[in-house]
Amino acid sequence: MSATPVAWSPSPEFLTESNVARFMAAHGFGDFSELRDRSIEDPEWFWDAFVRFAGIPFATPYSDVLDESAGIEWATWFTGGRLNAAAVCVDRWADDPQRCDHPAILWEGEDGPPRSVTYRELRTMTDALAGGLAARGVGVGDAVGVFLPMLPETVAAVMAVAKLGAIFLPIFSGYGPEAVAVRLDEGQAKALITADGTTRRGKVVPMKETADAALALASSIETVVVVPRLGREVPMTAGRDLTLAECGALASSARFDTPAFDAEHPLFVAYTSGTTGKPKGVVHVHGGFVVKIAEEVAFQADCRSLATGGDRDDVLFWLTDLGWIMGPWQIFGTLALGATMFCFDGAPDYPGPDRLWAMVERHRISILGISPTLVRALMAHGEAPVRAHDLSSLRVLGSTGEPWNEGPWWWYFDVVGGGRCPVINVSGGTEVGCFLAPHVVESIAPCSLGGPALGCAVDVVDDDCQPIRGAVGELICRRPWPAMTRGMWKEPERYLETYWSRWPGVWWHGDWASIDDDGQWFLHGRSDDTIKLAGKRLGPAEVETALVEHPGVVEAAAIGMPDELKGETLVGYVVLAGGTTPSEELRAELRALVANALGKSFTPSAIYFTTALPKTRSNKIMRRAIRAVALGQTPGDLSGLEDPAALDAIAAAE
């Protein structure tokens, strides 16, 4: 595989003032590759050194960093250490006279005035909710569903649950009743925190009514707390339902003294979207999750704060929902560093295509994270909405969720970032945190994931688990890391079967990846999305990259369809740019474009024109749903689908 040209090189400021540069200087590393190698070879040294660098407070110090005595699959971290994620992220800053009045959260909704919440105010909100839940009988080990849009109260909710030693279940704010009920039932939740409603593109989303319908299907909930997001009148069940204020009034005192728990005490269970089976409950813990995510936000996103030795106070915004892993990532990572997180409840292009850029300007956001799919959608509006706003506050761009193709990557880099901001393209998952990422002290190639995340022994291997370079292979990890899931909730055998059964002692991640001659890493999609044409494996991202290079194509999806001769045949679905007319000539052009890019044997058998592609709220294309519609099959779990009408568009594609 040929070397890839460099798009961005670190400035002297990043090489001296970034968090990772300061860490390197403190430990005598002159080259980032030396640090990466040492962190992988000696993870115990690295994670202990990061805890000290970030000042993460353990109420009881740990005796050992890593314990693999039960096997790599069940490795634990920070043995004997005790802490509480809420104390790390909220209490220590609220109790610090130099930090208590610094903004912890900046917020906007689609309508209404923006809000700012200081660390002192966040602790007050958190303590009141924790005290109220405790008065309702919620305690250590109980599960609490959090079915909220991104609000300051959402942050307070997860921190309140952490204070109690209970376990929060983050639930995507766009789910319907059945999807909410499944997650509450699987987690045997004792309480649910929801909102009276929210808005999406100006329309009311009645979340309390959705919650009530879910609770008709779920039997374990004893308490429902309702956040007044819109001030709507909603049905309230006597004896079960409380407003947020009523819950807080039950607290025995204004201050809730935060207990410390073992570092391995469960913090939350994140239920992944199922395909045809039930969702997987991924377990994360107070110690390992907070330490690993704080490291990612500090060293990958370079989120700095004066509170942790930085030269500035950053504002970090990742466009996400609590129900996706980037929601907890943003909350715990940003607040563990004492920085400011921005969150938004609404659509990023509503009421106009410049909404996202207006928020960056208004709140002086310095670190922005969005998905490649959203970039492709915003590109369709042209450069004018971006250039109408002052984006000079931006200094780091982030992305995750799926592979890039070069056109949108360069647009993000040049138009949004002005060519001066590194694109920190990260990849991992609900189960792991981050596996791959470039860092701001190294040169970055277009679309690249840089290399292994610090402390993560990842590799790309062939079918025999042997390392390969210059070709596409499976992404795996050979050593444990702190944010590795502690298993699936109450399903240990399913956990072992899903991640550890392919090769003994090796985590199989399910992503296709490659490493080029310069050591730059790239993703090529999920291996379960792989298309096999006459024995040749092809990632859909490669096809989609070729298709969107055509100026008349805004978005594309590639799937494999059954074929008696080849096993599978390649089919593409494309959304056309405004002013582009579907035609047989255009269809032929697109087939030829893919053939020229990938080889004649990969020529699509068909190209279909559609008005929309089914996507999740986090802007991932749901290829399995496209394939199911094309085959006339049941598409399985669609709880994460943003717009059900997109499936009708696929069915009507010509």
In angstroms, the CA 64 to CA 44 distance is 8
* DSSP-derived 3-state class of residue 160: helix
Instruction: Let me know the angle formed at the C-alpha of 259 by 253 and 260, rounded to the nearest 5 degrees.
Output: 165
Q: For tokens 């850029």, what's the residue?
A: 357
Residues 582, 592: contact at Cβ < 8 Å?
A: no
Say what the pLDDT of residue 142 is: 98
In angstroms, the CA 172 to CA 602 distance is 37
Say what the pLDDT of residue 382 is: 94
* DSSP-derived 3-state class of residue 223: strand
In angstroms, the CA 375 to CA 402 distance is 12
Q: Does CATH number 3.40.50.980 belong to domain 119-262?
A: yes
Say what the pLDDT of residue 2 is: 47
Which residue spans of the chain are classified as CATH 3.30.300.30?
Answer: 530-651
Which residue spans of the chain are classified as CATH 3.40.50.980?
Answer: 119-262
Q: For tokens 């200081």, what's the residue?
A: 118
Say what the pLDDT of residue 1 is: 45
Say what the pLDDT of residue 531 is: 77
Residues 585, 623: contact at Cβ < 8 Å?
A: no
pTM beyond cutoff 0.85: yes
> What region does 317 belong to: left with phi over 0, alpha with psi -120 to 50, or beta?
beta
The percentage of residues in the chain with a pLDDT greater than 90, rounded to a whole number, is 79
Estimate to the nearest angstrom the gap between the alpha carbon of 599 and the chain centroid.
34
Q: What is the mean pLDDT of each run of 10 residues along the chain (654 residues)?
A: 78 98 98 97 98 98 98 98 98 98 97 95 98 98 98 98 98 88 94 97 95 94 98 97 98 97 98 64 97 98 97 97 95 98 96 97 98 89 97 97 87 98 95 96 95 97 94 94 96 94 94 88 76 68 86 92 79 93 95 85 91 81 88 77 87 92
Cα-atom radius of gyration of the chain, to the nearest Å? 24
In angstroms, the CA 64 to CA 184 distance is 35
In angstroms, the CA 382 to CA 379 distance is 5
Instruction: State which CATH number among 3.20.20.210, 3.40.50.620, 3.30.300.30, 1.10.460.10 fits the domain covering 530-651.
Output: 3.30.300.30
Say what the pLDDT of residue 276 is: 41
DSSP 568: E
Q: For tokens 């079915």, what's the residue?
A: 147
Which candidate, 454, 451, 460, places its Cα nearest to that of 509? 460
Residues 557, 572: contact at Cβ < 8 Å?
A: yes
Residue 202, φ and ψ in degrees, nearest 5: 85, -5
